[in-house]
Amino acid sequence: MHCPQCEAGDTTTIVIKLRGDDSVSFFQCRRCEAKWWQHGGDTIALDEVLNLTAEAETKVR
Protein backbone atom coordinates (compact mmCIF):
# COMPACT_ATOMS: atom_id res chain seq x y z
CA MET A 1 0.00 0.00 0.00
CA HIS A 2 1.30 3.43 -0.91
CA CYS A 3 0.53 6.52 1.14
CA PRO A 4 -1.99 8.81 -0.57
CA GLN A 5 -0.19 11.89 0.83
CA CYS A 6 3.54 11.30 0.33
CA GLU A 7 3.41 8.15 -1.87
CA ALA A 8 5.82 6.26 0.39
CA GLY A 9 5.47 2.50 0.30
CA ASP A 10 6.31 1.96 3.96
CA THR A 11 2.96 1.61 5.74
CA THR A 12 1.62 -0.24 8.74
CA THR A 13 -1.60 -2.19 8.10
CA ILE A 14 -4.06 -3.55 10.65
CA VAL A 15 -7.09 -5.56 9.48
CA ILE A 16 -10.08 -5.66 11.83
CA LYS A 17 -12.65 -8.39 11.27
CA LEU A 18 -16.25 -7.21 11.69
CA ARG A 19 -18.65 -10.10 10.99
CA GLY A 20 -18.51 -12.98 8.58
CA ASP A 21 -15.96 -12.14 5.90
CA ASP A 22 -16.42 -8.37 6.38
CA SER A 23 -13.48 -6.31 7.65
CA VAL A 24 -11.99 -2.83 7.74
CA SER A 25 -8.31 -2.00 7.28
CA PHE A 26 -6.37 0.72 9.06
CA PHE A 27 -3.24 2.15 7.44
CA GLN A 28 -0.55 4.48 8.76
CA CYS A 29 2.37 5.84 6.76
CA ARG A 30 5.70 5.43 8.53
CA ARG A 31 7.17 8.41 6.70
CA CYS A 32 4.56 11.18 7.10
CA GLU A 33 2.28 9.49 9.70
CA ALA A 34 -0.87 9.91 7.56
CA LYS A 35 -3.70 7.63 8.70
CA TRP A 36 -6.63 6.24 6.71
CA TRP A 37 -9.23 3.45 6.71
CA GLN A 38 -10.54 1.23 3.92
CA HIS A 39 -13.62 -0.96 3.60
CA GLY A 40 -14.38 -2.96 0.49
CA GLY A 41 -11.52 -1.28 -1.35
CA ASP A 42 -12.83 2.25 -0.69
CA THR A 43 -11.30 4.81 1.65
CA ILE A 44 -13.74 5.67 4.43
CA ALA A 45 -13.88 8.15 7.31
CA LEU A 46 -13.44 7.15 10.94
CA ASP A 47 -17.13 7.78 11.72
CA GLU A 48 -18.03 5.19 9.06
CA VAL A 49 -15.64 2.71 10.70
CA LEU A 50 -17.35 3.32 14.05
CA ASN A 51 -20.79 2.80 12.47
CA LEU A 52 -19.67 -0.47 10.85
CA THR A 53 -18.24 -1.80 14.11
CA ALA A 54 -21.38 -0.79 16.03
CA GLU A 55 -23.57 -2.57 13.44
CA ALA A 56 -21.38 -5.68 13.66
CA GLU A 57 -21.62 -5.65 17.46
CA THR A 58 -25.40 -5.23 17.37
CA LYS A 59 -25.84 -8.16 14.99
CA VAL A 60 -23.71 -10.42 17.20
CA ARG A 61 -25.99 -9.96 20.20
Does residue 49 contact residue 36 with C-beta atoms inside 8 Å? no
Q: Enter the pTM of the model.
A: 0.84
25 vs 40: CA distance, rounded Å: 9
pLDDT at site 60: 59
pLDDT tens for each residue of 9-55: 999 999 999 988 999 999 999 999 999 999 999 999 999 999 999 88
Read off the pLDDT band of 56 (50, 70, 90).
Answer: confident
Q: How many CB atoms lie within 10 A of CB 5?
A: 13
Q: In what order do the strands lie in the sheet with 42-44?
A: 11-17, 23-29, 35-39, 42-44
pLDDT at site 31: 97
How many CA atoms does the CB half-sphere of 36 hold within 13 Å? 15
